[in-house]
Chains A and B, each alone.
Chain A
Amino acid sequence: MSSLVSDKPKAEPARAYDGPPDYRVVGQHGMYPLLSHDEISRFNFLAQMNRHLSTQIMPGVKEAFDARVEPKFVAANGRGFKDRHEVRKALLKDSLFQWWSALRRATMETRQQAGRWVTLRQADQLNAKAKALTENDERLKLNPELPLPRYVEAIDHHCMPGSYHTELAEGDVTGPCNYDIGIFATTGGMLGRYNDGGGQAIAAWVKETLPDLKPKRILDIGAGLGHNVLPIAQAFPDAEVVAIDVGAPMLRYGLARAKTMGVDNISFVQGDVSDLSDLADESFDMIHSCMFLHETSYASMPKIFAETHRLLKPGGIVFHVEQPQYTPEMPLFEQAMRDWDAFYNNEPFWTKMHEVDLDSWMVSAGFERDKLMHSGVAAVVDPDVFPQAAQDTKQEDYGRKAAWHVVGAVK
């Protein structure tokens, strides 16, 4: 009688593995919380879940759009879609889009809960560690009187309870710590060991684009916990770097984290980047933002651009890293899918920011049109361990892929 089970060890996997690495490849800097075996397994699951949604389920949304959503709309209206909002509203009636959306939202909320559990259960220890690292350090400049911009106060971005600013206790850093440890799950490991694939890409792009630039002072606006500014500070170790954000917990955690990683040339300053009057005219050689403009507003953007123009030295460079703008060449389906995070993942301004002509806004702020620059960058990560966005043709994950556009200018 032959056995139902093989007595030979499995020699070859059923298929070549192409998913995210194990969470343990994430870099353990000095502000990292303790993670149990099960807490790591949760992040492994959530990274796989996001990968599954983007590679296995999301392509079906396009198939359903082609097979039934668009034909149904054309039959009912006698015309095609006129804008991305019509596409989105038609998609909302389709069961596959509904299920993909419900699961994507649920995965984001589950990721927040998983990360918050880790950081909140050891809040006192984390906050004490941050305090010890930042107390009496003049590179942390907080301003408790700073009014919160409406764009931060109105909604908790990407379903992150408490957003960038809430303090559950004095000196709280649990919010940014949760952000830091969970990006791996949201991106399926696409941002690399220290979630700095974006910052590394920027640093490489600047060195390649402007090989002669030796910035003495660098300004990062909307820096968050500083994960993207660290590689830039490391690339220009002689520069004095200023990282600005409205969220005190982010800045506190950012300085503590940077110090444990041996990066000492960054000041973390609490401020609203639409009014940086404390900083002198023409005092920076390089100013940049990374995935920040889409979390602001039409009222603040011209002020932000004007401030960057005022603060930049002649010959200096400013640039903003974002997902691509909605242009007439971009299919309406793609625009509607890219709007998902705006409407369903608490990123409201995403949809509005991506429809404007950023070049005109830059010119209105004083930059010369023939000195504007456009480029594309993809996350730079250790290819032996992490998936590379530039090579990944299996997933588009509209709006979340670790590849971005750069719009900038030389003054």
Chain B
Amino acid sequence: MSKIDPLALAGAKSKGKRPYFLETDVERLTNIVLVLAQELAVVRERTDTLERLLEQSGVLTRQEIETFTPTKQQADERGAWTQEYLARVFRILQQEREALQTQEASSEEVADELAKV
């Protein structure tokens, strides 16, 4: 094995204090979103390669993809996947809504309570 670990070193900081142009948290999030946008473009390009290769080898045409219409059953399955996906993405908001309905103690408070003899 190489002694150079790409996972640790690829994203190394360059020497020199980094400037921030936005509120620090906003700039952090911007950097994260940029890389997600990059990876989405990477997946999109890979899908495009796949479609073109499948078309070249006669498996399907891209026109078939463009004009694909799901059956009721297929559409329901896809809709369900999207609902599940959104529920995962926005979990934090769901839980904040639930929290509005109750008055709860924190773990620290519960710990203190449980330590009472």
Chain A interface (Cβ < 8 Å from any Cβ of B) = 3, 5-7, 9, 37-38, 41-42, 44-46, 48-49, 92, 97-99, 101-103, 105-107, 109-110, 112-114, 116-117, 120-121, 123-124, 154-156, 159-163, 168-169, 174, 343-344, 346
Contacts and interface: CB of A to CB of B under 8 A. Distances in A.
A158 B41 CA distance: 25
Given A102-B30, A106-B34, A120-B9, A344 B19 contact: yes
28 contacts: A5-B69, A37-B45, A37-B46, A38-B42, A41-B41, A44-B41, A44-B45, A45-B37, A49-B34, A98-B21, A99-B21, A99-B22, A101-B19, A103-B34, A105-B19, A105-B21, A110-B31, A110-B34, A114-B38, A116-B6, A116-B9, A116-B10, A120-B4, A124-B2, A124-B4, A155-B14, A159-B16, A163-B15
Interface of B: 2-6, 9-16, 18-22, 27, 30-31, 34-35, 37-38, 41-42, 45-46, 49, 63, 66-67, 69
A346 B12 contact: no
Nearest to B65: A5
A196 to B, nearest CB: 25
A44 B48 CA distance: 14
A37 to B, nearest CB: 6
Nearest to B63: A9
B30 A156 contact: no
A155 B18 CA distance: 11
B6 A169 contact: no
A interface, over-half SS: helix
Contacts of B27: 102, 106
B45 A41 contact: yes
Contact of A155 (B9, B11, B16, B41): B16
B9 A168 contact: yes
A161 B12 contact: yes
B63 A112 contact: no
A92 B6 contact: no
A123 B34 contact: no
Nearest to A40: B45
B45 A174 contact: no
Given A113-B10, A174-B4, A102 B38 contact: no
B45 A5 contact: no
A150 to B, nearest CB: 13
A168 B45 CA distance: 33
B85 to A, nearest CB: 23
Contacts of A102: 20-22, 27, 30
Contact of B4 (A7, A113, A123, A159): A123
B30 A103 contact: yes
Nearest to B13: A161
Contacts of B3: 169
A120 B6 contact: yes
Contact of A45 (B10, B22, B42): B42
B10 A156 contact: no
A159 B31 CA distance: 15
Given A7-B66, A106-B30, A346-B15, 15 more contacts: A7-B67, A49-B34, A101-B21, A102-B21, A102-B27, A103-B30, A105-B21, A116-B6, A123-B6, A124-B2, A155-B14, A159-B16, A161-B12, A161-B15, A163-B14
B42 A42 contact: yes
Contacts of A101: 19, 21
Contacts of B21: 92, 97-99, 101-102, 105, 344
B67 A169 contact: no
Contacts of A9: 63
A312 to B, nearest CB: 35
A44 B45 CA distance: 9
B41 A109 contact: no
B4 A169 contact: yes
A45 B12 contact: no
